[in-house]
Amino acid sequence: MTTIDPEQYKAGQRQGWNCVASGWQKWWKTTETAGEKVSKRLIELAAIKQGSRVLDIATGIGEPSITAAHQVGNSGHVLAIDISSQMLSIAKQRAVSLGLHDIMEFKEGDTETIDLPTLTFDAALCRFGLMFLPNLAAGLSNIHKSLVHGGLFAAAVWATPDKVPFISLPLNTILKETNSPSPPANTPGPFSLSDESLLKDSFTKSGFEDVTIERLDMVFNFDSADDYTNFVCETAAPVQAILSNQPQERRKEILQAVTEATSRYVDKSSGSVRVSNEAICIVGKR
């Protein structure tokens, strides 16, 4: 059980994602080059094909819904939802620029409470969103009822912090530098669903059948350690929140500490950074 106020938490999430939306737009190529393999695998696991009706949960700036829209074609349909109006605005712009606006529909709301049509979607997707739900059971139940019988839900979440350094390294460095406490246990966050057995159990309890899990490597590449630090600073709302309480000089020192901590991932000949991370992919059937 979490000890947070769900509504207050969701309001914070909404504000946080809105604040970093422009950063996600700026770093889109970096994140999508890294995430392409995961998106494609989720679409395979959900058996999405031409003509499929697809729900994408927590789409952010439009993935994997845009990849799914290419797959379903003009005879299919994709509904992409997100809690952040700013992230959705960018996703809509991308859909229009790619000529997918007739296939895709966008709706603002949170996964637990958004009104979804029942028995409608052939497949549902969620790439790195489930970990942030304060009431996972409510979210999964809402997704479950929206699927047709036999419909598949495929999601990706992050593995344990030691296997996801692109998040844990800067976060741990900044928490240490600022003497900030770690987030309380049993609260939503990037690693809250890293326990495979608990993750599988949550799907089963929500009515999903034939639940299977696999793991995928997801590699982020940056031109330099400074680039990586800028990426973290511009896309991570919790990092921005912590740094906003620091004087400007101290902020520079903290970010320099992140850059230095990245040294173990720097290629000595080129100066580029390669960070390998582990994603957990799960699929269940209604």
Alpha-carbon Rg for the chain, nearest whole angstrom, is 19
What's the CA gap between 114 and 241, in Å, rounded?
A: 27
Residues, the chain, total?
Answer: 286
Look at strands 209-222 and 273-285 and give their pairing: antiparallel
What's the CA gap between 75 and 100, in Å, rounded?
A: 12
Say what the pLDDT of residue 158 is: 98
Q: What are residue 92's phi and psi, to 5 degrees?
A: -60, -45
Q: Of 111, 105, 100, which Cα lies nearest the Cα of 78?
A: 105
- Kindly state the tokens that stand for 28: 């889109």
Say what the pLDDT of residue 34 is: 97
Strands (DSSP E) contained in 120-183 are 121-127, 147-158
DSSP state of 46: T
Say what the pLDDT of residue 185 is: 77
- Kindly state the tokens that stand for 92: 């809509």
Q: How far is CA 58 from the centre of its chain?
A: 7
Local confidence pLDDT in tens for the 286 residues of the chain: 447 899 999 999 999 999 999 999 999 999 999 999 999 999 999 999 999 999 999 999 999 999 999 999 999 999 999 999 999 999 999 999 999 999 999 999 999 999 999 999 999 999 999 999 999 999 999 999 999 999 999 999 999 999 999 999 999 999 999 998 888 878 899 999 999 999 999 999 999 999 999 999 999 999 999 999 999 999 999 999 889 989 999 999 999 999 999 999 999 999 999 999 999 999 999 9
By three-state DSSP, how is residue 177 classified? helix
Say what the pLDDT of residue 4 is: 84
pTM score of the predicted model: 0.95
Amino acid in position 158 = W
Q: What are residue 217's phi and psi, to 5 degrees?
A: -85, 140
Q: Are 62 and 95 in contact (CB under 8 A)?
A: yes
Say what the pLDDT of residue 1 is: 43
Say what the pLDDT of residue 186 is: 81
What's the CA gap between 94 and 62, in Å, rounded?
A: 7
Q: How far is CA 24 from the centre of its chain?
A: 11
Q: Are 154 and 281 in contact (CB under 8 A)?
A: yes
By three-state DSSP, how is residue 235 classified? helix
Say what the pLDDT of residue 2 is: 46
